[in-house]
Amino acid sequence: MKRVSIAAVAFVGFWLVCLWTFRSSNVGLFPVPPMSHRQNHNNVNSHNIKGFSEMSAEVQESRSAFKLGNSVTKRTEKGHVILITNGTVLHTAFKDGIQDCPQLPPNVKCNLSYASHEVWNQSDAIVFRAFHVDQASDLWDYHREGQKWIFEEHESPMKTWNPVRRENFDALWDQFNITILYTKDASIQFYMYSIKCKLRPEDENVKLANEDYLRGKERSVLWMVGNCNWTMGRELYVDELMKYIDVDIFGACGDHVVCGNYEDGQTNCIEHLMNKYKYFLSFENSFCEGYYTEKAIKAHRAMTIPVVMGLVNYTELLTPGTFIDVRDYKSPKLLAEYLKMVGSDPKLYNGYINRKRRTECSSSSKDDYLCQLCQYLYEHEGQTEILPNMREYWGREKRCMSPDKFFKGVADDIIPRFTKKRLF
């Protein structure tokens, strides 16, 4: 009997020690349960959240689906703002430790670091790149009071949410406080392909060479495309366009291969190919608010005329009179007729190219938005900012246009070819 009592005491003691060790670990005393288990999911303050030991077995089991995050930072001297990333996106600047932001006050610095999860709760901010979150992501759903979670995304909402990200991680998507996006309503607006162009004033002392840019251009329209899947209907538009004007398709979706893979970044080769054509199709794969990629920028640098398609006000990016927007024409046939007219008139065609040559373009540094974030954290220290669930906030219904609506009055003949599952 005595042996049984001693064994029982030892057993209870063993589990008490384990419980104390667990509660003293870096998991913290106030972990955040998934949204469906919260009484008030709009409040991220830990004072209103039960401790882990008080949670149901179901909640504890749901937390086991998350893995510990692998990115944190260490404290710097007092007064400095600290930025960390969860490792879902790579920035070369992050490897440099303290970010150099000369425009900020001397006491405002950011320590940018990839580190272990042991000091996750000590960090002031964590950056998540949604597009890189998947079942294998090294994440943790513990949101310490006062810690800022930052939603960073450069892809369109159409591409951001695959089924895994859309249907999982309930405890993650409604925990964000700050956004880094390319849209104007972002906490910090940044675009990976940011560009602003303006026309230089004419200078009588500096005259452009009287060059005929049509000379040597034997081909009409070039389209370089690697995504052959259904992408908002741009391929249907090209099918119609090809009925009225020649279009050469290069890349995985065409009959021609040149310059290696897209990822190889053969910029000089691509630009050289563009220069052989009168026009280059810069068609986006998503019609979303403010979304554009490097396609129009590459064509703007070459001696060809970009033909653009996207839900973007291109006049805010490129100089008017240097590009052609498909939305200015009521059908692919009318667009083709205009392209043929300009492509057969050296004066009209050279006018487009000469305006490009008189255009000055600038782009923002990728490091610049990190400094903006550093300053933002410093200026909003101690403030509570709560955003809606990011699956709705950055969802296609809120940010994008259904293809049937986009092509209405632009290519009405292709609208009946859209299947219902592609519309929203």
Could you tell me if 108 and 250 lie in one domain? no
Sequence-ordered list of residues with C-beta below 8 angstroms from that of 259, at least 6 positions apart, any chain: 266, 269, 270, 273
Q: What is the CATH number of the domain that holds 89?
A: 3.40.50
**Does the residue 246 lie in any domain?**
yes
Helix, strand, coil fractions of the chain, as percent rounded to 5: 35, 15, 50
Same domain? For 142 and 263 the reply is no
Is there a single domain that holds both residue 186 and residue 287?
A: no
pLDDT value at residue 278: 97
pLDDT at res. 365: 62
Strands 359-362 and 196-199 come out as antiparallel
274 and 302 in a single domain? The answer is yes
Indicate if 162 and 267 belong to the same structural domain: no
Whether residue 254 is found in the same domain as residue 112? no
**118/128 Cα distance (integer angstroms):** 18
Domain holding 202, by residue range, is 196-362
Note whether 177 and 202 are same-domain residues: no
Neighbours of 258 (CB within 10 A): 13
Residue 423 is assigned to a structural domain of this protein: no
In a domain, residue 398? The reply is: no
Query: Where are the alpha helices (H) located in 41-167, listed in sequence order?
Result: 57-63, 157-160, 163-167
Structural domain contains residue 415: no
| Whether 173 and 229 share a structural domain | no
Comparing CA positions, the residue from 186, 110, 174, 116 lying closest to residue 143 is 174
Structure confidence at residue 204 (pLDDT) = 47
pLDDT at position 239, please?
Answer: 95
Domain count, the chain: 2
Instruction: Tell whether 96 and 80 lie within a shared domain.
Output: yes
**CA–CA distance, 30 with 44 (Å, rounded to integer):** 11
In this structure, are 208 and 173 located in the same domain? no
Helix (H), strand (E) at residue 300: helix 294-301
Residue 128: per-residue pLDDT = 84
User: What pLDDT score was predicted for residue 85?
Assistant: 55
204 and 338 housed in the same domain: yes
* Overall size of the chain counted in residues: 424
The answer to whether residues 211 and 352 belong to one domain is yes
Are 180 and 369 in contact by the 8 Å Cβ rule? The answer is: yes
Structural contact between residues 322 and 352, judged by C-beta atoms closer than 8 angstroms: yes
CB atoms within 10 A of CB 371: 20
Looking at the domain assignment, is residue 421 inside a domain?
no
String of DSSP letters for 151-164:
EE--S-HHHH--HH
CB atoms within 10 A of CB 278: 24
pLDDT, residue 388, reads: 94
Using an 8 Å Cβ cutoff, are 406 and 311 in contact?
A: yes
pLDDT of residue 49: 22
Report pLDDT for 415.
96
Q: What is the pLDDT of residue 123?
A: 74
* 48 falls within a domain: no
Q: How far apart are the first and last CA of the chain?
A: 72
Do residues 172 and 139 lie in contact, with contact meaning Cβ atoms separated by under 8 Å? yes
CB neighbour list of residue 162: distance below 8 Å, 6 or more residues apart: none
Cα 96 versus chain centre, distance: 23
- Nearest Cα neighbor of 394 from 173, 136, 206, 144 is 173
The domain that holds 325 is classified in CATH as 3.40.50.11660
Per-residue pLDDT at 91: 45
Residues in the chain with pLDDT < 50? 1-80, 86-96, 115, 204-205, 262-265
User: Which two three-digit tokens encode residue 342?
Assistant: 């300009």
So what's the pLDDT on residue 68?
27
Residue 18 covered by a domain: no
